[in-house]
Structure 1
Amino acid sequence: MRPQRHIAASFLALALASGMAHAGSITVYSALESDEIDTYLAAARKALPDVDIQVLRLSSGDLAARLVAESAQPRNDVIWGMAVTDMLDPRIAGLLAPVRGGDIDRMPAAFRAPDARWFAPTGFLAALCVNRQALAEAGLPVPTTWRDLASPVYRGQIAMPDPSSSGTGYMVLSALTENGRDESAMKRMVDIAGNIGQVTLSGSAPCKLARIGEFPIGVSFAFAAMQSIRQGYPIDMVLPTDGRIYELEGSGLMAKSANAADARRFLAWTASPEAAALYRGYKEIVAAPGSVPTAEQQREGLPADLVSTLPVRDFATAARERTSLIARFKRLTR
């Protein structure tokens, strides 16, 4: 027995020396896109070589449903890159623990919860994908405002995501109507709906339809527009001048995490300057202090001072009023 004990003790000593005994494991639920997760995760694993990071990617709606379904016994340690409007659902917000310190605390206040239960290193901005060739062939002017989209000249010429299935769709509906409180804006939203030729399930789909000229105008988000431009499609990105509409992508720590120390280390990395440099390849909005759009992004239409000019959004009300606002919009557009 003594030789076996000696072997076991030697193995334990070797494991301790190599760091194996300190290796942790965390489970991360994310609504970020798969290609960007791959990029970020490769860097995170290099920065945290002793942490086994397992990521489950889900759409925002599926992620919210899973978190609610597992709320009694959460199976994840971290939420990473989820629409803040979804995170502020009380059934989800109540599952989170405060996270503070370091680069997280250096983010602008608008990108952090007052109670520190979430922070948002990134966000996305609503934009119009305009196919200039298709628009010219139809003899239509380029829209420059949200108000323009309500004009009868665009009847049947717009693709837009469904607010009941798309985070981008709901972002536009809630922000344009001030969560349904602005009656004149709600009427304009109904008029825009009357011009929609196709309702899509996702926020990127309208831009993809505009790429191929199926519709000259797609209500989407800025990254989809810039990606289309880079890929050589005849797309112009239009940021309507009468309202910058955006959503933040929040991250947070599950209060019942059994791996809280490693989860906090991972979350700290997601707020780091190293991570921010990677976000620039995919995101319009990056919260890290001093971060500005790249020269290429600015040529494509993003303003250099984008973050500082974003209007205040009432994400809590948008979360609370989601069901009733969507139902009301559906009634008005039947």
Structure 2
Amino acid sequence: MSISTQLKTLCGAVLAGSALLLTGCGNDSAETTQASNEPTELTVYTALEADLLDTYGKAFTAEHPDIKINWVRDSTGTITAKLLAEKENPRADVVWGLAGTSLLKMKSEGMLESYSPIQVEKLDEKFRDTSTNPAWVGMDAWVAAICFNTVEAEKYNLSKPTSWQDLTKPEYKGHVIMPNPNSSGTGFLDVSSWLQTFGEDKGWQFMDGLHQNISRYTHSGSKPCKLAASGETAIGISFAYRGANLIKKGAPLELIIPSEGIGWEIEATAILNTTKKMAAAKKLVDWSITKTANELYNQGYAVVAYPGVAKPVEHFPAEVGEKMIKNDFEWAAKNRDKILSEWQKRYDSKSEPKS
């Protein structure tokens, strides 16, 4: 068995149980020592929806056949915790598709390479790290939404909610499911946006009321919408992409954008400063901000980083853009640990078991 094969076998055994490993494991040897006829392998950590990875990966590889992506995917909270836990022994080369607040946390820990991708100035400024030492770059934004099952609502005589505050009404008791913010990026953007929208004291008061109606908290941001689509719940607090996708497949859902406004989060990309494959990593990040990449992002997300690319997404409510709150990502990242600790203390008793 060759040294290269031994390394791949060993790495695969180590990573197999730690996350959903979609396409094998990265080769730890430096770029300069790889055989010239073998592609450079990049281990890429991601929280992107699993059904998007093949599309993005194939498009990149078509232009860069000399680079192979080995995906490691899990929910936002899990991937963030994994990266922080591996700080002293990092295994990822690149993070492609993780919440901007998570990358801000990693930047504060000194884990990211300072890199400004080629033609980054073409992107909308809110998708750029404009600091002196830029370490991340945005790709798209995902937005909160309520997935409302009209069939289940009729069965239980539930009125259609129009606001977040509506979800605290007694009629919805046991009919609402939302993501746990400790494991889900969607859950965290919900909680941080409520605290910003209502103010911290009133934000926690709102969540106290909402908690009375929650049947359970999931560890996936898309799961509440999937459960609403299948009729397991009438109301799933989730995000618009997943709801629109399920409606397209025939689910009896309506996407509701609450009147107070919706939280949103940037999906972003960064390079781990410990990678031994810096040249390949930079090629991936350069490609991730191209117009071609943004056109792919727009297939599922109505808001993307490249101006002029975004076209209306089927089944997305028209008011999405105007209802996005003024989100203070720096505040959210700085207060992340405190917010999650308080949430867990108050509400974790209704969280589903981790698989």
TM-score strictly above 0.5: yes
**For residues 22 and 157 of structure 1, do their structure 2 counterparts lie closer, same or farther at Cα, with a shift above 3 Å needed?**
closer
> How far off its partner does 1:53 sit?
3.0
CA distance, structure 1, for counterparts of residue 201 and residue 279 of structure 2? 48
> How far off its partner does 1:323 sit?
2.8
Which amino acid counterpart does residue 324 of structure 1 have in structure 2?
Answer: K
Partner of 1:7: none
Q: Does 1:60 align with 2:66?
A: no
Choose which of 339, 343, 349 in structure 2 pairs with 1:325.
339
**For residues 139 and 180 of structure 1, do their structure 2 counterparts lie closer, same or farther at Cα, with a shift above 3 Å needed?**
closer
CA distance, structure 1, for counterparts of residue 217 and residue 86 of structure 2? 31
Partner of 2:54: 38
Partner of 1:105: 121
**For residues 272 and 90 of structure 1, do their structure 2 counterparts lie closer, same or farther at Cα, with a shift above 3 Å needed?**
closer
Which amino acid counterpart does residue 190 of structure 2 have in structure 1?
Answer: V
Partner of 2:181: 163
Question: Quick check: 19-28 or 270-279, which moved more?
Answer: 19-28
Matches within 5 A, 1:75-154: 75-90=91-106, 93-115=109-131, 116-154=134-172
Question: Quick check: 145-154 or 92-101, which moved more?
Answer: 92-101
The runs of at least 4 aligned residues of structure 1 exceeding 6 Å deviation read none
Where does the alignment leave 5 or more consecutive residues of structure 2 unmatched?
Answer: 1-34, 350-355
Paired residues in the alignment total 312
TM-score if structure 1 supplies the norm length? 0.85
> How far off its partner does 1:220 sit?
0.7
Which amino acid counterpart does residue 30 of structure 1 have in structure 2?
Answer: T
> How far off its partner does 1:128 sit?
0.6
CA deviations on 1:27-71 (whole Å, 9 max, x unpaired) are 322221222111111010011122233332233233223322332
> How far off its partner does 1:329 sit?
3.1
Question: Quick check: 57-66 or 214-223, which moved more?
Answer: 57-66
CA distance, structure 1, for counterparts of residue 85 and residue 343 of structure 2? 27
Which amino acid counterpart does residue 257 of structure 1 have in structure 2?
Answer: T
CA distance, structure 2, for counterparts of residue 72 and residue 327 of structure 1? 24
TM-score if structure 2 supplies the norm length? 0.80
Question: Quick check: 169-178 or 324-333, which moved more?
Answer: 324-333
**For residues 197 and 65 of structure 1, do their structure 2 counterparts lie closer, same or farther at Cα, with a shift above 3 Å needed?**
closer
- Is the partner of 2:44 in helix, strand or coil? strand
Question: Quick check: 189-198 or 57-66, which moved more?
Answer: 57-66
CA distance, structure 1, for counterparts of residue 260 and residue 78 of structure 2? 32
Partner of 1:290: 308
**For residues 301 and 180 of structure 1, do their structure 2 counterparts lie closer, same or farther at Cα, with a shift above 3 Å needed?**
closer
Which amino acid counterpart does residue 302 of structure 1 have in structure 2?
Answer: P
Which amino acid counterpart does residue 222 of structure 1 have in structure 2?
Answer: A
CA distance, structure 2, for counterparts of residue 100 and residue 281 of structure 1? 26
CA distance, structure 1, for counterparts of residue 230 and residue 73 of structure 2? 28
State, as a whole percentage, how many aligned pairs show the same letter.
Answer: 31
Partner of 1:266: 284
**Which is greater in Rg?**
1
Alpha carbon RMSD of aligned pairs, Å? 2.5
Q: Does 1:303 align with 2:318?
A: yes
Asked whether the equivalents of residues 64 and 92 of structure 1 are also in contact (C-alpha less than 8 Å), the reply is no
Where does the alignment leave 5 or more consecutive residues of structure 1 unmatched?
Answer: 1-18
CA distance, structure 2, for counterparts of residue 67 and residue 332 of structure 1? 26
CA deviations on 1:274-299 (whole Å, 9 max, x unpaired) are 111111223243221113243x52xx
Partner of 2:29: none
Asked whether the equivalents of residues 293 and 303 of structure 1 are also in contact (C-alpha less than 8 Å), the reply is no
CA distance, structure 2, for counterparts of residue 303 and residue 330 of structure 1? 34
CA distance, structure 2, for counterparts of residue 104 and residue 309 of structure 1? 27
- Is the partner of 2:196 in helix, strand or coil? coil
Asked whether the equivalents of residues 177 and 189 of structure 1 are also in contact (C-alpha less than 8 Å), the reply is no
Which amino acid counterpart does residue 32 of structure 1 have in structure 2?
Answer: L
CA deviations on 1:218-247 (whole Å, 9 max, x unpaired) are 101111111110111111111112112111
**For residues 135 and 183 of structure 1, do their structure 2 counterparts lie closer, same or farther at Cα, with a shift above 3 Å needed?**
same
